[in-house]
Amino acid sequence: MAAAAYEAAMRRALALAAHGPATGVNPRVGCVILDADGAVIAEGWHRGAGTPHAEIDALGHLEPGDARGSTVVVTLEPCNHTGRTGPCSVALIEAGVARVVYAASDPGVRSGGGARRLHDAGVEVIGGVLGDEVERFLGDWLPAARLGRPFVTLKWASSLDGRTAAADGTSKWIIGAAARQRVHEQREASDAIIVGTATVLSDDPSLTARGDAGELMPRQPMPVVVGVRQIPSDAAVFRHPHAPFIAPTHDLAQVLDHLFGLGVRRAFVEGGPTLATAFLAAGLVDELVVYLAPSLLGGPHTAIADIGVGTIAEARRLEITGVERLGNDLMIVAHPRDGGTILPATRPDPSRPLHSMEEES
């Protein structure tokens, strides 16, 4: 079968994968099964945690024995472990498939290894077909799986001169309605939204994702509050549709580790400049989303504080991967040029609590 046939089937599998939920523990995966002549005989995709994986979904559309000698094209390497469902690698072997073509390798310690198991059972395995496209599609899930912690997006909104508030501390609203609505859409696309205790004490945010009319959007992120200060029992965050996760610590790596164990794969950080700086300094930011308003504020309230750059040669150079105009504002998305996190981890200063600057913001 020609390579072009595998690529065509992989693109179809990618389109099928897009039907699955974009958030949660499991990746979006699509699968196409081809007969010996290259004709499609079954398709499937993963519909979320606890449901059949894409390969099993596709096999379920065939009668027993119909998959024998077929080629299975799947966006992610078939899993090799038993969770809520059994290993797809074993199911494919038992179905008698002749060949498995996949795009991206499964980085999971427990779930990975399906390709090796298939190969050892005599199944021909071809990996990396449209790998770059599928890597981009899986965006934040793959890095989270590789890192063993949530993929962290750090967002802030500022004036053109990098200020998040005026000299008197007022900040509503730096950006306009269209940009603020885009933030709510990004909240909905995240598993958790993280702020510091200072933000809760000063702004009393609900940390919900809301529509144009203020209505709750169908999916809500888990609210997470980091810091050691007490927050009032009547804070708006306690009226969130999900019970908030309160993390009375300054250890951000520990917080992310716990969230990962709770199934969080995409974290959206919206705290003040100290929390933002702490995440950056800890080497825990994978993506920046910066909203720029065409205004000048001056003054002390910068978006981030000292991140250890003493000279221009030490500047962390990023790649702008997205620019969107929203009303009169701009949204800029940036990633590190060389992979990894936005900043390499530095040793945190234990004498500098997370609330020290947020009280000023």
How many residues are there in the chain?
361
Gap between the Cα atoms of 180 and 201, Å rounded: 21
Q: How many CB atoms lie within 10 A of CB 24?
A: 17
Residues 6+ apart with CB under 8 A from 83: 110, 111
Catalytic residue among 7, 43, 55, 215: 55
Known catalytic membership, residue 77: no
Gap between the Cα atoms of 298 and 15, Å rounded: 47
Gap between the Cα atoms of 154 and 152, Å rounded: 6
What tokens appear for 110 in the block?
A: 């427990």
Residue 294 burial (C-beta neighbours within 10 Å; 0-12, 13-18, 19+): exposed
CA 5: distance to chain centroid? 31
**Residue 27 DSSP code:** P
What tokens appear for 356 in the block?
A: 């020290």
H helices present in the chain, as ranges: 3-17, 54-59, 88-95, 114-120, 131-138, 141-147, 177-188, 197-203, 252-261, 273-281, 355-358
Gap between the Cα atoms of 303 and 277, Å rounded: 9
Q: How many CB atoms lie within 10 A of CB 275?
A: 28
Phi, psi of 271 (to 5 degrees): -70, -175
**Does the CA dihedral 285-219-50-21 come out positive or negative?**
negative
Which residues belong to the active site? 55
